[in-house]
Amino acid sequence: MKRTIAIVAGGDSSELVVSLRSAQGLYSFIDKERYNLYIVEMEGHRWEVVLPDGSKTPIDRNDFSFMENGEKKHFDFAYITIHGTPGENGILQGYFDLLGIPYSSCNVLVSAMTFNKFTCNQYLKGFGIRVAESLILRKGFEITDEEVINKIGLPCFIKPNAGGSSFGVTKVKTKEDIQPAIEKAFKESDEVMIEAFMRGTEITCGCYKTSDKEVVFPITEVVSANEFFDYGAKYNGESQEITPARLPEDTAERVRLLTSAIYDILGCSGLIRIDYIITEGEKVNLLEINTTPGMTATSFIPQQVRAAGLDIKDVMTDIIENKF
């Protein structure tokens, strides 16, 4: 009997549109001969299933069920592809845990920790992993331009601490831009991270593990046409993405080993993607961890799967079946 899979998309952040695109990608990747697939759209209190005829019907939040042709249907598994709250920060994971529905991503604790960039980086710093100097600013607190310059320096990145990296991020080069950048980041998150700029080669590496295998994908090098890898670079083709990355093999191997180690240190589950920057002297510096990475046809993970010579359909089956 086919399992019924919910591809859960949408969310309550600026990345809603990106999430819906990832849902379409997943719908095309997952084996329809093996699973019954439905996209579930969440936005605030609107939770709806997209039926095969394109119409939408509400989800019963008491048990995550829905009605189709007069029949009550339940999901066997949820593939979470919400980039932001409530799907990337542990909230939805807690809901599915309460209902006993297995899901694709990391558990509540890991999701919450990785979603909070400052907390995650400081935690991993304790394991000897290199991260940029940074500080956290919470809503209601202020910081002077001089404090930012003295503690972090310029240029620096000012970004939402809890959220994705597509919105609210500014590369700040001048004193005059500090406060406007903080204000912009606060529109996306109640916490703002101010992080030192690191000059180098930006890369990203995907990974997943099951009970009987470990897969670390080929590394992608990101060459943005913009100041940094912003929304335009990610989704409007304003970057060059090179897989495998142009790295010395010993550096690439260190990145792959570090990716696998971070996966285990945190206790990750499902597909993750870790972003790094390689600075002078081939030093590997962690940028951030994505536990619900983008899954459009042109996203990094599908690119890396192809470069590895794997079938994305098999990868999706691994992720789903490992939860049963």
Q: Phi, psi (5° rounding) for residue 106? A: -65, 165
Instruction: Determine the CATH number of domain 1-103.
Output: 3.40.50.20
pLDDT at 237: 58
Q: Is 224 a catalytic residue?
A: no
Q: With 80 as the cut, is the pLDDT of residue 228 above it?
A: no
Q: Is 15 a catalytic residue?
A: yes
Q: How confident is the model at residue 79 (pLDDT cuts 50, 70, 90)?
A: very high
Q: From CA 282, how far away is CA 138, in angstroms rounded?
A: 34
Give the single-character DSSP code of 153: -
pLDDT more than 90, % of the chain: 87
Tracing tokens 């019963």 back to the chain, one arrives at 60
Q: Which of these is catalytic: 14, 104, 111, 165? A: 165
Domain ranges for the chain, please list them: 1-103, 109-128+197-320, 133-194
pLDDT at 74: 98
Span 268-272, mean pLDDT? 98
Question: Residue 66: left if φ>0, alpha if ψ -120 to 50, beta else—which one?
Answer: beta
Q: Which residues on adjacent β-strands are paired with residue 222?
A: 202, 241
pLDDT at 226: 58
Q: With 60 as the cut, is the pLDDT of residue 231 above it?
A: no
Q: How confident is the model at residue 166 (pLDDT cuts 50, 70, 90)?
A: low
Instruction: Determine the CATH number of domain 133-194.
Output: 3.30.1490.20
Instruction: Determine the CATH number of domain 109-128+197-320.
Output: 3.30.470.20
User: Is 288 assigned a ligand-binding role in the annotation?
Assistant: yes
User: Is 290 assigned a ligand-binding role in the annotation?
Assistant: yes
Q: With 70 as the cut, is the pLDDT of residue 33 above it?
A: yes
Span 314-322, mean pLDDT? 98
Q: With 80 as the cut, is the pLDDT of residue 136 above it?
A: yes
Q: Which of these is catalytic: 14, 15, 191, 195? A: 15
pLDDT at 162: 81
Q: Is 260 a catalytic residue?
A: no
User: Is 147 assigned a ligand-binding role in the annotation?
Assistant: no
